[in-house]
Amino acid sequence: MRSLLLLQLLGCVPTVAPAGSDAPRGLAIAASQLVLQSGTEVASIGCGMVKWCYSAAALARLPALNGTAEVVVFTNDQDLVLSQCLPTPRILPFSRELQADVSRWEEVQRARRETLTLRERGNLGSLRFGMANLMKWEAFRHTEYAAVLLLDDDVDFFLHSGGGAAPPGAP
């Protein structure tokens, strides 16, 4: 609830824009899900999309947001998101430019790793993890929103209130 108050104080929770206007859409409560395919193996980078979609929808319905929030998932696999998310969020694809940039980054990193010793590699982390984090840059393209609250899909908005929004006035 403190986060919502902070958004209000910062002026990031606008009123609903009139239909057809050029005004920003409001707040996007967003997550990014990268799905990598290698042969017959499919790896989804993200583990909590089912719970996240449910909680994000509950957050968007809070009276403090005055109907201005929209749940959004940036992804390269719309079908997987549709199979995991109820209520259905707005699903937006990653831009081709960003996907190409991240693919080039992956190629450079793979080549670089082959030349490093195990000790030199140190804590470079997984390429999949790095790629998933780079895909989060997609949020910056979406200027149709007044604000984008981009969170990892393992964030539980209502962890301390039993999975639901706390009653008004709760700390």
pLDDT band at 120 (very low <50, low <70, confident <90, very high): low
Looking from the CA of 81 toward its CB, the CA atoms found within 13 Å total 25
Q: How far apart are CA 18 and CA 20, in angstroms?
A: 6
Residue 13 confidence (pLDDT): 46
Is the pLDDT confidence value at 42 over 60? Answer: no
More reliable by pLDDT, 20 or 140? 140
Q: Angle at which helices 127-135 and 96-115 pack, to 10 degrees?
A: 150
More reliable by pLDDT, 109 or 60? 60
Average confidence score pLDDT of the chain: 79
List the end-to-end C-alpha distance of the chain, in Å, as a whole number. Answer: 7
Is the pLDDT confidence value at 154 over 90? Answer: no
Phi and psi angles of residue 111, each rounded to the nearest 5 degrees, phi first:
-65, -40
Which of 21-25, 70-74, 79-83, 137-141 is predicted with the least confidence, judged by mean pLDDT?
A: 21-25
Q: How far apart are CA 123 and CA 137, in angstroms?
A: 22
Amino acid at 93: P
Burial class of residue 29, CB neighbours in 10 A (0-12, 13-18, 19+): buried
Query: Mean pLDDT, to the nearest integer, of 38-66?
Result: 79
Query: Mean pLDDT, to the nearest integer, of 90-105?
Result: 94
Which of 1-10, 40-49, 120-129, 154-163 is predicted with the least confidence, judged by mean pLDDT?
A: 1-10
Residue 127 confidence (pLDDT): 79
